[in-house]
Structure 1
Amino acid sequence: MKKVKALWVLVFAMVLSMLTTGCGDKGLTHIKLAEVTHSVFYAPQYVALEKGFFKEVGLDIELIGTQGADKTMAAVLSGEVQIGFMGPEASIYVNNQGNKDYAINFAQVTKRDGSFLVSRQEEPNFDFKTLAGKEIIGGRKGGVPEMTLEYVLKNKGLVLGEEVASGQVNVRTDVQFAAMGGAFVGGEGDYVALFEPIATSLEKEGKGYVVASIGAESGEIPYTAYSALKSYMEKNPNTIQKFTDALYKGQQFVKNSSAEEIAKVIAPQFKELSLEDLTAVVQRYKDIDAWCETPVLKEESFNRLMDVMEMAGELNKRADYETLVTTVFAEKAIK
């Protein structure tokens, strides 16, 4: 009888384990979140994670790095993750392909480009005109970082092309996002557009110098936002609402806190940086007003993103704001 009893105990434990798989820690709803890259640029998200705002609303977040908006959107479309964090341009591309179950943007985090132009030498009096005849490692073609860089260069009166000898600016799109810093250090390109904390790391090593903020020059655009498939949002509106509520608390903390206070909270996410360097990076993003104070993605901002895409020659059909953006969850979170 003891053996039979022990067997039933084992079976019960296995069944219980199966039932709780995917529910996360202590009964929390487990959410797989794909992020386009891991950067201080997304401080509000890491604040919400480290201060337990997601767990407070019953969510257990598993972060998955994908290194690129195209890969992030692929993870969303395949159902590998429930929520994707990337540039809204990815949802526009998918919608224009005619996908019936497309991704809808429900919460915005950053309102400017988060990359910085890095030179091989210090240029305290940097002028964009000096980029004529130079080569810039710019990122993946069709991605918001590369398109925004082109947008800024063209607005500065520069001519893009591969004939650098004639004064054209060659923006290279053949280097993968994660490899851009390494390619630059290895001797490729005259300049490179990098996110933090990589830009600061190169400065510390004396291998590069930040000369300009692309975001400060481009103006406000919905640079990164959260999206989920239409079908998932329809079936799980409460989960999307809880996620947005937690994010908003993170945004408010960032808004009302100093760079040092923010750095101390998100430090576990960036163990490779000293608190001093992390504080400097956070302050750099605060100085360019990179972060949204609320999750609301406005139509004017969405339209400017499509202007950037059109100027880059990457958009053949403008998307409908009402179709690809919902502010219902963001507005409720604010209230």
Structure 2
Amino acid sequence: MTALISNNADIAFMGPEASIYVFNEGKEDYVINFAQLTQRAGNFLIGRTNEEFNLEDLKGKTIIGGRPGGMPQMVLEYILKKNNIKPFEDVEIITNIDFTATAGSFIGGTGDYTAEFEPSASKIENEGRGHVVASLGIESGLVPYTAYMAEKSYIKANPETIQKFTNAIYKSQLWVDEHTPEEIAEVIKPQFKDTDMELLVQIVQRYKDQDTWRKDPYFEKTGLDLLQNILDSAGELDRRVEYDNIITTEFAEEAIKNIE
């Protein structure tokens, strides 16, 4: 977001909660989301055993969570509250471990559970150090976790660029939906040189199974409503933003119409 509002980038890819914060700060040339990419949180709850799991099992336990105010931590807290589990009361959550060190801390014996993104989740399982017991993406519902956005002025001045960009994203979403994890892994392998092919296929399969990626770039109002519910629940929302203020669907609609 810093790169975007300082004119060091024309288009940015991030969590749309950032666009809510910018709008609420009163920036005149605020940021608008024009293409959604993912529709679920991408992290998983890892436990130490492979026994049957229920969220109620978290009561009295310790979870390695995320940074306070960060989306992964807010999603975790939202899921707990939704299941009548009070964060930091019914369950202890560790929030002061660096994102890159959480998996290592869990393997080293810290906590009963840890919330991990890929590839850490699959690596922990494959090494026999823990087991995925729940998908936080499934438990939280269809959250617009990542989207493409640009400043209002840039979109107004460059509608053709935004349209072509959205068309490309939509084609990619269709391609991912229509191809196997093995085919997807083969294409993205150059971006993950240090990840072996078998692990890459495993990760893509897990994300496909839980419907992580949208099949079109349309940003739905229900998604923004849920996102703001999560922010509000975490105490990070000053006031709710109207859907039409920070979302435009015209480019997604045009992309869908043109490609179909």
Bin the TM-score by the shorter chain: over 0.9
Q: Distance in 1 between matches of 2:102 and 2:185?
A: 25
Instruction: State how 1:260-271 maps to structure 2 within 5 Å.
Output: 260-271=182-193
- Please point out which of 79, 83, 91 is paired with 1:156: 83
Closer, same or farther: CA 82–208 of 1 in aligned 2, 3 Å: farther
- Please point out which of 107, 115, 138 is paired with 2:43: 115
> For residue 78 of structure 1, what is the aligned residue in structure 2?
6
Closer, same or farther: CA 134–326 of 1 in aligned 2, 3 Å: same
Matching of residue 329 in structure 1 with residue 251 in structure 2:
yes
- Please point out which of 47, 64, 69 is paired with 1:137: 64
Closer, same or farther: CA 183–74 of 1 in aligned 2, 3 Å: farther
Aligned-partner residue type, residue 257 of structure 1: H
Q: Distance in 2 between matches of 1:102 and 1:148?
A: 25
Instruction: State how 1:152-231 maps to structure 2 within 5 Å.
Output: 152-161=79-88, 163=89, 168-231=90-153
Closer, same or farther: CA 185–80 of 1 in aligned 2, 3 Å: farther
Q: Distance in 2 between matches of 1:242 and 1:182?
A: 42
Q: In structure 2, the residue corresponding to 1:116 is in which secondary structure?
A: strand
> For residue 248 of structure 1, what is the aligned residue in structure 2?
170
> For residue 300 of structure 1, what is the aligned residue in structure 2?
222
Cα distance, 1:110 vs structure 2: 0.8
Aligned-partner residue type, residue 169 of structure 2: L
Closer, same or farther: CA 178–81 of 1 in aligned 2, 3 Å: farther
Instruction: State how 1:61-100 maps to structure 2 within 5 Å.
Output: 73-100=1-28
> Normalising by structure 2, what TM-score?
0.92
> For residue 179 of structure 2, what is the aligned residue in structure 1?
257
Cα distance, 1:310 vs structure 2: 1.2
Higher RCO (CA < 8 A, seq sep 6+) = 2
Q: In structure 2, the residue corresponding to 1:82 is in which secondary structure?
A: coil
Q: Distance in 2 between matches of 1:173 and 1:96?
A: 26
Cα distance, 1:186 vs structure 2: 4.3
Identity of aligned residues (%): 52
Q: Distance in 2 between matches of 1:185 and 1:312?
A: 28
- Please point out which of 190, 197, 200 is paired with 1:275: 197
Cα distance, 1:253 vs structure 2: 0.5
- Superposition CA RMSD, Å: 1.7
Closer, same or farther: CA 175–234 of 1 in aligned 2, 3 Å: farther
Q: In structure 1, the residue corresponding to 2:147 is in which secondary structure?
A: strand
> For residue 8 of structure 1, what is the aligned residue in structure 2?
none
CA deviations over 1:207-233 (Å, ceiling 9, x no partner): 332111011111111111111122222
Q: Distance in 1 between matches of 2:68 and 2:14?
A: 15
CA deviations over 1:306-328 (Å, ceiling 9, x no partner): 11111122112000110100111
Residue pair 1:89, 1:143 contacting (<8 A) in 2 also? no
Q: In structure 2, the residue corresponding to 1:247 is in which secondary structure?
A: helix
Q: Distance in 2 between matches of 1:77 and 1:182?
A: 35
Closer, same or farther: CA 81–202 of 1 in aligned 2, 3 Å: farther
Closer, same or farther: CA 176–85 of 1 in aligned 2, 3 Å: farther
> Normalising by structure 1, what TM-score?
0.72
Residue pair 1:104, 1:227 contacting (<8 A) in 2 also? yes
Q: Distance in 2 between matches of 1:158 and 1:123?
A: 22
Q: How many pairs are equivalent?
A: 257
Gaps of 5+ in 1: 1-72
Q: Distance in 2 between matches of 1:83 and 1:178?
A: 27
Cα distance, 1:83 vs structure 2: 1.9
> For residue 311 of structure 1, what is the aligned residue in structure 2?
233
Aligned-partner residue type, residue 111 of structure 1: Q
Gaps of 5+ in 2: none
